Amino acid sequence: MGRRKKRALVNVDEVVEFFNNIMVEKPYLPLLIPLILIFWAIEKWFFSLSNWVPLVLAVWATVQYGNYQHRIVVEDLNKKWKRVILSTSPTTPLEHCEWLNKLLMEIWPNYMNPKLSLRFQSIVEKRLKHRKSRLIEKLELLEFSLGSCPPCLGLQGTRWSTSGDQRVMRLGFDWDTTDISIMLLAKVAKPFFGTAKIVINSLHIKGDLLLMPILDGKAILYSFISTPEVRITVAFGSGGSQSLPATELPGVSSWLVKLLTDTLAKTMVEPRRQCFSLPPVDLRKKAVGGIIYVTVKSASKLSRSSLRGSPSRRQPSFAVDGLQERFDDNHLQTFVEVELGELTRRTDVRPGSNPQWDSTFNMVLHDSAGAVRFHLYERTPGSVKYDYLASCEVKIKYVSDDSTTFWAVGPDSGVIARHSEFCGKEVEMVLPFEGVNAGELAVRLVVKEWQFSDGSLSFNKFRASSQPSLNGSSNFLSRTGRKINVTIVEGKDLITKDKFGKCNPYIKLQYGKALQKTRTAHSINPTWNQKFEFDEIGGGEYLKIKCYTEEVFGDDSIGSARVSLEGLVEGSVRDVWVPLEKVNSGELRIQIEAIIIDDCEGSRGSSTGNGWIELVLIEARDLIAADLRGTSDPYVRVQYGNLKRRTKVMYKTLNPKWHQTLEFPDDGSPLELHVKDHNAVLPTSSIGDCVVEYQRLPPNEMSDKWIPLQGVKRGEIHVQVTRKVPELQKRASLDPEPSLTKAHRISSQMKQMMIKLQSLVEDSNLEGLPTSLSELETLQDMQEEYMVQLEMEQMLLLNKIKELGQEILNSPPSLSRRSSGS
């Protein structure tokens, strides 16, 4: 019964389609209706036509239906024939490439080797940061050179063929060289110790390349047909002091081969293709990042049976199953996840086999090239589970003539390529999903700006670059020459992990070794307007941003981001919205400004190199209770760079008073205070922390302030901080006690404390152990502080000697003779 209904439905559909086709191809058909009425009138009032008119109509309808079926068959055959012709078209005659290899031999040593070595060196360094062997804790690239022996191309000749509308060259690639020089310094992981040098001295890569010219010759796509054969020869050498013997580390050679093979397979094996641009103009700019707006418009021809699972695993479909399948496709609920590096965003869920999203996302690219991936998911009704369906991707690359190239894999492994001559030009692409037989995704991409290493920005063809530097060189100064002001303005659409929708976000900033933290807000769209200052660091150091939400049982991460501070120009503020990575929503508005510190201001804001920081921890008030009895045993752990100090423990109080003075050499490191609750047996618990700002203090002027503690509901700490710019006599007078006497005093006190601890253990006096241990820790801190003081005095003395020597060298000769004569 179901099959009969299916056949009836199919017949009705065919009849409707037939008449629709007749109306399109026979536009005069409506004129036949009045003509039929005239014939009817003639038959009714003059003479009968009923004997032959039905026969004529039947013949005419039969002829039209036959023509319609014939046309369908012809179109289908034409499509199949075109597909066969384009896929199996005869290739061009075999062309030998001896001339190409001779040319490559001439230009490789002095031109291609330096350029390719520099390019691949940066790629290898990035790759080694993310992929390490289990035996290696840290890996550093010391030397990278591809040598003077170029690869051999097309030893068996080359041919051109056609795939779809795309011309393709197949070219053999064979690179067997022993002249390569790649040296790595490896720090071996536990249980081994020491370092070792890994030298790659030979390399063999063999495979077949595909070259595809696109965009009318403006670029060439290249890839391997299949994963190439890779062989590497590795030698091991000493790595300096505490080095391993020159023996092979187990598994390192095979790990390097696997690393190179996986990298090639993920980036240069069909259908993954790389792009080599051939711009008419080279502006010699190095792009270090960009801002891209990605719009997911719609999808079409989605089918659950085609997108999920392989054909061999699908059940055979009958007519009724086909109707059910068509019904299911119309009830699909899908969304798209957009991925660029570690940044991901999701669209809303839309129903149907042709969903419309029109969702736009702000994405950040941290290099001159990248890939935007689109993952299609299905949401199961009544469940929180998402089913992966298919993926596709678009690759983006900056071209040195200030344009942008986009390319993707097209239908039947073809090529989809677009070219944007300037920033701000929209590019639309319809992408087939990879590895499936159905489904297309329509997207739109806009590069809003490219950021360059010289500080200039490429906007659009109506806006020129913002203050480009001369000769294409970077105009940022040395580490101590400039300051970077970073203002965390606001955030929007932050995610919340609280079931009631509450969010208490705060931001942690890291630039080099400097750490800063904002106050805690109480909204998913918070406003901070907090300004932080950092010393500028060269070498492409990123500003790392981490966003957290404050919770009762521990803070949760709600996203992170990286911002390039390379090429900042004085006098201009970079105001950007930075999307958060590793989450589905959330952006931060940040203002970045580079400023030059003059001599007068620099003496206030930067470290002098021969001064010290004097920190007086006076008291705290209204601390939280960490013990069950409603009190705490607070002490302060101070961290200044790699130096750590602590105060004595004040027992059973929420308003402790320490009145303790600590000193640190002034090197510009962040000064962090961590208030802890002391426990003799259990681990110590945190009752708040804060950062003491001292970098902008005037020399030798004390700042007295109460600082609220972060990470807790209440609590403040009272400190006095001073940036000391010393005179040697003043510094020596700070501690009237002779150094030798102080050293003997600390040593004797520690010996007495050890004897006291031993007697308490022998007497099983457990009550006095916590107090004695705390006193011993205080003595150890005093000893460490004394050692730092000695090192600081040594540094001050050496600096003073250098200054006196410099004054003598710079003094006029007459003054020198006068002084010697007297």
C-alpha span between 788 and 730 (Å, rounded):
18
147 shares its domain with 211: yes
301 shares its domain with 201: no
Q: Does 235 reside within a domain?
A: yes
Q: Does 538 reside within a domain?
A: yes
360 shares its domain with 410: yes
Q: How many domains does the chain have?
A: 5
Model confidence pLDDT, tens digit, residues 113-150: 888 888 777 777 777 766 666 677 777 888 888 888 89
Compute the average pLDDT of residues 170-192: 82
Tokens 């900033």 belong to residue: 509
Q: Which of 445, 473, 502 is the last residue of a domain?
A: 445
Q: Are 351 and 361 in contact (CB under 8 A)?
A: no
Contacts of 744 (CB under 8 A, 6+ apart): none
Q: What percent of the chain has pLDDT over 70?
A: 73
Report the pLDDT value the prediction gives residue 371, as an integer from 0 to 100. 92
Structure token digits, residue 42? 């003639």
Q: Are 624 and 712 in contact (CB under 8 A)?
A: yes
Tokens 């942690």 belong to residue: 508
Q: Whole domain around residue 16: which residue ranges?
A: 12-88
123 shares its domain with 83: no
144 shares its domain with 263: yes
Q: Does 787 reside within a domain?
A: no
Q: Which CATH number does the domain housing residue 621 bear?
A: 2.60.40.150
Whether residue 406 has pLDDT greater than 80 = yes
Q: What SS3 string covers 673-684?
A: EEEEECCCCCCC
Report the pLDDT value the prediction gives residue 481, as an integer from 0 to 100. 58
Compute the average pLDDT of residues 386-397: 91
Among residues 456, 87, 511, the alpha carbon closest in space to that of 284 is found at: 456
Q: Which of 430, 445, 460 is the last residue of a domain?
A: 445
Q: Does 756 reside within a domain?
A: no
435 shares its domain with 351: yes
Compute the average pLDDT of residues 401-407: 92
Burial status of residue 245 (CB atoms within 10 A of its CB: 0-12, 13-18, 19 or more)? exposed
Model confidence pLDDT, tens digit, residues 416-458: 999 999 888 999 999 999 888 888 999 999 998 888 877 677 7
490 shares its domain with 557: yes
575 shares its domain with 619: no
220 shares its domain with 113: yes
650 shares its domain with 720: yes
Tokens 């009714």 belong to residue: 44
Q: Which of 568, 596, 624 is the last residue of a domain?
A: 596
Model confidence pLDDT, tens digit, residues 277-327: 888 888 788 888 888 999 999 999 888 777 754 333 333 333 334 444 454
Count of beta carbons in the 10 Å neighbourhood of residue 90: 9
Element (H, E) at 762: helix 739-762
Compute the average pLDDT of residues 211-221: 89
- Between the alpha carbon of residue 205 and those of residues 149, 239, 468, the distances in Å are 13, 28, 42
416 shares its domain with 492: no
Tokens 């890291």 belong to residue: 510
Alpha helices in 88-172 (DSSP H): 98-107, 113-130
Q: Write down the pTM of the prediction.
A: 0.58
584 shares its domain with 616: no
Lowest mean pLDDT among 114-118, 179-183, 266-270, 467-471: 467-471
Walk across the sheet containing 573-579 and list its strands. 527-535, 482-492, 587-596, 573-579
Q: Does 748 reside within a domain?
A: no
Q: What percent of the chain has pLDDT over 90?
A: 13
